[in-house]
Structure 1
Amino acid sequence: MPDGSTHSHALSVAGQDISLTWSGSTHTGRRREVNQDAFLTIFPLFVVADGMGGHIGGEIASASTVDRLRIVADGGSVSAKTIEKALSRAVKDIAGHVDTTDDGTGTTLTGVYLETTGGTPHWVTLNIGDSRVYLSRDGAIAQITTDHSVVQELIASGRLSPEEAENHPYGNVITRAVGPSESVSPDYVRLDVVDGDRFVICSDGLTKELTDYGIQHFLTENDDPADAVEAMMEAALENGGRDNITIIVLDVAVDSSPAAG
């Protein structure tokens, strides 16, 4: 796993100089004995996976998924097609592992990748389950992904308020995951590349302990991604740390000035 320091990558595409800085960290939390989260930060792909399943099944599921996506990121050809091929391979890996005997073994997956083909660069978020991608832009934070969960379906149907959802007994029940079924496709959202944007990619171990306002607060207080990750992690642990916690903060800087000629 990355060491919690800040990493960077710069590129020029479509007349724009884009500079990315990021940091990621994971923690078992205060109440769990095993960390079933995994994450990947290899340009252009940044993802978090939160495993579930008895024994060490969840750990295997999240690690298998991240390992398959690492191959895609290392190959440099990240797209919906290559991601979904990798997920199909991960499902087979999970099903074939001797320690994943639980039918419920699987993992969430969420994150972003930078798409640079086809002209104007853009971000694509991907999501399966209830881990989340947030975008902080112009001092306001928004959840970009939509949870695949029983509680979210109840909220969407008007049968449950967001306030009631916070302590709902089915709060941990997700409706889509990598592993339990043979094929599963992420939801995708395209986003413009905007100077000053900050992404937070996290497992629900963070969002159980910090509100959206709290996440934005620590981004505002910490310009460096590693400092922001550390501050959020400390706050989540102080607030209870009831689950594994994984956080990636990814910052975007764009210079669209024409090159001197």
Structure 2
Amino acid sequence: MSDVTTESREVSTHGTTITLSWAAATHTGRRREANQDAVLASYPLFVVADGMGGHIGGEIASTSTIDRLRSVVQAGQVNAKAIEKALARAVKDIAARPDVTDDGTGTTVTGVFLDTAGDQAHWVTLNIGDSRVYLERDGTIVQVTTDHSVVQELIASGKLSPEEAENHPYGNVITRAVGPSDSVTPDYVRLDVVDGDRFVICSDGLTKELTDYGIRHFLDENADPAAAVDAMMEAALENGGRDNITIIVLDVAGSSPVSD
């Protein structure tokens, strides 16, 4: 994974300068023939997409979604409305390939963007599917997004414990995706911008192989985002690498008042 590098950017907004650092990587894993994951790590949007519906169909779904979201970044208007329009266009892209896609084709889309449009900057997470956003803050790691999956619904209804969910036969069945037969409106969560925050955005290829504690361990052991991505990827592959694996680590390294 030596080609993983850390990028940095200083963002001046609302009288302060926020320093962001990030790294991203994707890997086919040890058991899959193709990588249906796709990734976008381009300020201010950091997103993972995990495609499904056959090798070609899944790749088309995830790649089309990431390409459409990249266009939003390039246009300089990253907000919920622009993201939802991009996802709707991705659905049309998927439907335009009936030779390799069908109603079972789709992709997760999960990530975070920095919203500087209001009175103060906020992070906004977005989620469709079972890829995840984690936040490590003040020594504690939490899963910010909620999985759209059969297993999560069973947990929420009290019919299944988190421990039982780990090996449930419906573990890969998601209830929402970006695809011809699904809504393209993500769930959103707004978060304050806090010095020292670390985000992990990942496909389920990582969380199948590492627990939340394991993810936190590799964050704590690696201050540099690229080193943290490398360490998590290596551990996930060593633990089996049963699925495609995609990881973004995004750090809020600090903020300071803007100098006059």
Question: Which band: TM-score by shorter chain?
Answer: over 0.9
For 1:178 and 1:103, locate their aligned partners in 2 and report how far apart those are by CA, in whole Å.
Answer: 11
Shift of 1:256: 3.4
Q: Is the 8 A contact 1:57 1:99 kept in 2?
A: no
For 2:252 and 2:104, locate their aligned partners in 1 and report how far apart those are by CA, in whole Å.
Answer: 37
1:194-205 → structure 2 map (5 Å cutoff): 194-205=194-205
TM-score normalised by L of structure 2 = 0.97
Shift of 1:101: 2.9
Q: Is the 8 A contact 1:94 1:100 kept in 2?
A: no
1:216 partner amino acid: R
2:178 partner amino acid: V
Shift of 1:253: 2.5
For 1:100 and 1:258, locate their aligned partners in 2 and report how far apart those are by CA, in whole Å.
Answer: 52
Shift of 1:204: 0.0
- Equivalent position of 1:125 in the other structure: 125
For 2:215 and 2:21, locate their aligned partners in 1 and report how far apart those are by CA, in whole Å.
Answer: 18
Shift of 1:98: 4.6
- Equivalent position of 1:251 in the other structure: 251
Shift of 1:239: 0.2
- Equivalent position of 2:17 in the other structure: 17
Shift of 1:99: 4.1
Shift of 1:258: 6.4
> 5+ unaligned residues in a row in structure 1: which ranges?
none
Are residues 258 and 39 of structure 1, via their aligned partners in 2, closer, same or farther at CA, if it must alter by over 3 Å? closer
1:22 partner amino acid: W
Cα RMSD of the aligned pairs, angstroms, is: 1.2
1:27-46 → structure 2 map (5 Å cutoff): 27-46=27-46
Q: Aligned pair 1:47/2:47, yes or no? A: yes
Are residues 24 and 258 of structure 1, via their aligned partners in 2, closer, same or farther at CA, if it must alter by over 3 Å? closer
1:49-198 → structure 2 map (5 Å cutoff): 49-181=49-181, 183-198=183-198
1:69 partner amino acid: L
Shift of 1:152: 0.1
Are residues 164 and 175 of structure 1, via their aligned partners in 2, closer, same or farther at CA, if it must alter by over 3 Å? same
CA-to-partner distance for each residue in 1:120-165, whole Å, 9 max, x for gaps? 0000000000000000011110000000000000000000000000
Q: Determine helix, strand or coil for the equivalent of 1:213.
A: helix
CA-to-partner distance for each residue in 1:175-210, whole Å, 9 max, x for gaps? 000013263200000000000000000000000000
For 2:9 and 2:258, locate their aligned partners in 1 and report how far apart those are by CA, in whole Å.
Answer: 20
> 5+ unaligned residues in a row in structure 2: which ranges?
none
For 2:145 and 2:108, locate their aligned partners in 1 and report how far apart those are by CA, in whole Å.
Answer: 12
Q: Determine helix, strand or coil for the equivalent of 2:64.
A: helix
For 1:182 and 1:241, locate their aligned partners in 2 and report how far apart those are by CA, in whole Å.
Answer: 29
- Equivalent position of 1:5 in the other structure: 5
Q: Is the 8 A contact 2:26 2:245 kept in 1?
A: yes
- Equivalent position of 1:238 in the other structure: 238
Q: Stretches of 4+ moved more than 4 A in 1?
A: none
2:121 partner amino acid: P
Q: Determine helix, strand or coil for the equivalent of 1:110.
A: strand
1:47 partner amino acid: V
For 1:81 and 1:147, locate their aligned partners in 2 and report how far apart those are by CA, in whole Å.
Answer: 22
How many residues in Structure 1 have an aligned counterpart in Structure 2?
A: 258
Identity of aligned residues (%): 77
For 2:100 and 2:93, locate their aligned partners in 1 and report how far apart those are by CA, in whole Å.
Answer: 10
Shift of 1:100: 2.8
For 2:217 and 2:182, locate their aligned partners in 1 and report how far apart those are by CA, in whole Å.
Answer: 40
1:6 partner amino acid: T
Q: Is the 8 A contact 1:56 1:99 kept in 2?
A: no
For 1:85 and 1:174, locate their aligned partners in 2 and report how far apart those are by CA, in whole Å.
Answer: 22
For 1:97 and 1:199, locate their aligned partners in 2 and report how far apart those are by CA, in whole Å.
Answer: 34
For 1:48 and 1:99, locate their aligned partners in 2 and report how far apart those are by CA, in whole Å.
Answer: 25
